[in-house]
Amino acid sequence: MIETDVLVVGAGPVGSTAAKHAAKGGAKVILVDRKSEIGSPKRCAEGIYDRGLQWLGIEPDERWIAQTIYGGVIYAPNGDSLTVDETALPEHGYVLERKVFDKHMAMDAARAGAEIKIKTLISNIRRSDNGFIATCESMDETYEISTKILIAADGPESIIGKMAGLDTTTPPKYMMSCVQYEMCNVDCVRDELIEFYLGEEYASGGYAWIFPKGNGVANVGLGIAGDLSEKTAKECLDKFVKTCPHTQNAQPVEFNVGGDPISGLLDKIYDDNIMLCGDAAGQVDPIEGGGIILGMMGGMAAGQVAASSIKEGDYSANKLKEYPDKFNESTFNVVPKLPVARDLVLELKDKDFNKLVEAANKLDLTNVGTKDVIKVFLKLPPRLSLKFTKLFKMFL
């Protein structure tokens, strides 16, 4: 029996962030991952924004940055496009090399004092008098870890969360099916601009994307709502690659697949002795599906609360309720509101996207005010424009 204060399951950026902050706070931490190589395979388009790294106190490192991004191009279903670049955007972002970034974050956790166990599968979780006991299987060896606090960062519909008694199920309509190729010979508009393709032709209920990584290399993928498409996500992606003018000569060098939960924050992301973070907690932007920064913010909050709980000797739900409060505060209390915006976006049809892009192109993007944005939404049918106007004011 191995004893620890905090056991973190899942050594992606979220779990590693949780382990790092728990260890920095003085807790004894074990971080486990079932894979033999942290960061592989990747399951995202690898995009993050620089402001998020600042919130997390992480300095950008050229070792894990493939390409700096200064904006993007949005393509309407009718072929019209809207370009928003550095002339209008004060912020910038990055396309990562996740296989390097994830290891970097795990090493940060180790430097903070966490112990890492790779190729370790948690096959069973049971409650004990003082927390949980996890049964671990690693390289033909079976052993148990006793922990006061369990942090589950094991991805969508967290198996660990379910074992511990929490409902981590995502409604099927909010589980996006995502597929992606990493490709070479991609003819990107600009290496500094990501590309989004809207409309039912390629991605019903979602969108297709091209995230440049420099030198003609890019992540090319899409996400679809499974209940809205008659084709599989891969069939949709192959059609996109064949018809998109920027991928006519592209060749795949890697294939990625995974589910992306866009249901929003789960109703319950903590209980006695346990916290969920990242995809396991629904800490994903339900509008565009990105979750690296939000998940890491959740990991940081969970790690900090875990360390505080260990110091106080209180691992009850009454103490751990500080976790969602800390997460919401650090993300400006915006995340709980996002599902409302998601449902409105899912109501949009191709003709609505066409009108929005057309209207946005008439704006001076270097000097856009609230009234200008509302004018764009007024191009929608009255029912939708009223909803979007109210929603926009809700975020102000």
The pair of three-digit structure tokens given for residue 48, joined into one six-digit string:
């993050």
In this predicted structure, what is the pLDDT of residue 268? 96
User: By the 8 A CB rule, do 17 and 327 touch?
Assistant: no
Residue 89's pLDDT band, with cuts at 50, 70 and 90, is: confident
Residue 204's pLDDT band, with cuts at 50, 70 and 90, is: confident
Contacts of 105 (CB under 8 A, 6+ apart): 13, 16, 17, 20
Q: What is the percentage of the chain residues whose pLDDT exceeds 90?
A: 82
Average pLDDT of the residues in 172-192: 95
Q: Is pLDDT above 70 for 202?
A: yes
pLDDT tens for each residue of 336-383: 989 988 988 888 899 999 999 998 998 888 887 777 877 887 888 888
Task: Please report how the helices 322-330 and 292-312 are oriented relative to each other, as an axis angle in degrees rounded to 10.
Answer: 140
In this predicted structure, what is the pLDDT of residue 306? 98
Q: Is pLDDT above 70 for 396?
A: no
Q: Is pLDDT above 80 for 125?
A: yes
Q: Is the pTM of this model over 0.75?
A: yes
Which amino acid appears at position 359 of this protein? A
Q: Is pLDDT above 90 for 43?
A: no
b/e per residue, 88-121, with b = 16+ CB within 10 A? eeeeebbbbbbbebbbbbbebbbebbbebbbebe
Q: Which of 70-79, 178-187, 335-344 has the lowest mean pLDDT?
A: 335-344
User: By the 8 A CB rule, do 90 and 213 touch?
Assistant: no
In this predicted structure, what is the pLDDT of residue 217? 98
Average pLDDT of the residues in 239-254: 97
Longest dimension (CA), the chain: 66
Q: Which of 21-25, 118-122, 213-217, 361-365 has the lowest mean pLDDT?
A: 361-365
- Sign of the Cα torsion 95, 99, 102, 105 reads negative
Distances (CA, A) of 292 to 153, 202, 299: 12, 25, 10
Q: Are strands 217-225 and 207-214 parallel, antiparallel or unpaired?
A: antiparallel
What structural domains and CATH numbers belong to the chain?
2-46+97-170+263-330 (3.50.50.60), 71-92+172-261 (3.30.9.10), 338-395 (no CATH)
pLDDT tens for each residue of 255-283: 999 999 999 999 999 999 999 999 999 99
b/e per residue, 329-357, with b = 16+ CB within 10 A? ebbeeebeebbebbebbbebeeebbbbbb
pLDDT tens for each residue of 137-162: 998 899 999 999 999 999 999 999 99
The mean pLDDT value of the chain amounts to 94
pLDDT tens for each residue of 108-118: 999 999 999 99
Q: Is pLDDT above 70 for 388?
A: yes
